[in-house]
Chain A
Amino acid sequence: GAVVSQHPSWVICKSGTSVKIECRSLDFQATTMFWYRQFPKQSLMLMATSNEGSKATYEQGVEKDKFLINHASLTLSTLTVTSAHPEDSSFYICSARETGYDTGELFFGEGSRLTVL
């Protein structure tokens, strides 16, 4: 099946710094990628929809200036958490839908666990 790789898997940073998380589709092209965050024992919360070559669509309540999303190619989307604070500590997961296929299946990255000290 299609593979989505997310990097880094774990990151610890100091409060006030910025962290970039990459999401790559390894063997398929993804016009659309999705970014989620998940708190312990809770479900996925969609943060934004990333579209190649255009601005991301953010969900209500998600600060676009704090969570910068760039989808510069058909295989790479990045999420940058700017000026991170302890409350941004969470599990961030990306998913991708293969361009041209509408089976509805999403392929998920491994997730990135962010801890802000």
Chain B
Amino acid sequence: GQNIDQPTEMTATEGAIVQINCTYQTSGFNGLFWYQQHAGEAPTFLSYNVLDGLEEKGRFSSFLSRSKGYSYLLLKELQMKDSASYLCAVRDSNYQLIWGAGTKLIIKP
């Protein structure tokens, strides 16, 4: 079956760096996405990786290793507003998005 694994919850300190990991087993691979979702709101797009390597976008970076079925989202200079759930999603061979359960990130002052 298809499976996306990411930690349920993580805690970090304001100003610090945090890495959220995502591992996947899917039927084919056509890209991996990270979305941010604040409580009670819809998800917002953060990043898209289809080739191996690191994609940097401001304070957020996303890494992909297709051979390992692994990605991480790196958040630097954490701010209180970064407290949210972070969803990892993989697009399979049928171009269907398979969603992870999300990682709830708690930022402490």
CB neighbors of B among A30-47 (8 A): 34, 41-46
Interface flags for B33-75 (1: CB within 8 Å of A; 0: not) read 1000000111111001010000000000000000000000000
- Is the CB–CB distance between B102 and A111 below 8 Å? no
Given contacts A46-B97, A103-B48, contact A108 B42 (CB under 8 A): yes
Number of interface residues of A (CB under 8 A): 21
- B87 interfacial by beta-carbon distance below 8 Å: yes
Chain A residue, CB-CB nearest to B45 = A105
B15-49: contact bitstring with A at CB < 8 Å (1 yes, 0 no)? 00000000000000011010000001111110010
Q: Which residues of B contact A (CB under 8 A)?
A: 30-31, 33, 40-45, 48, 50, 87, 91, 96-97, 99-102, 104
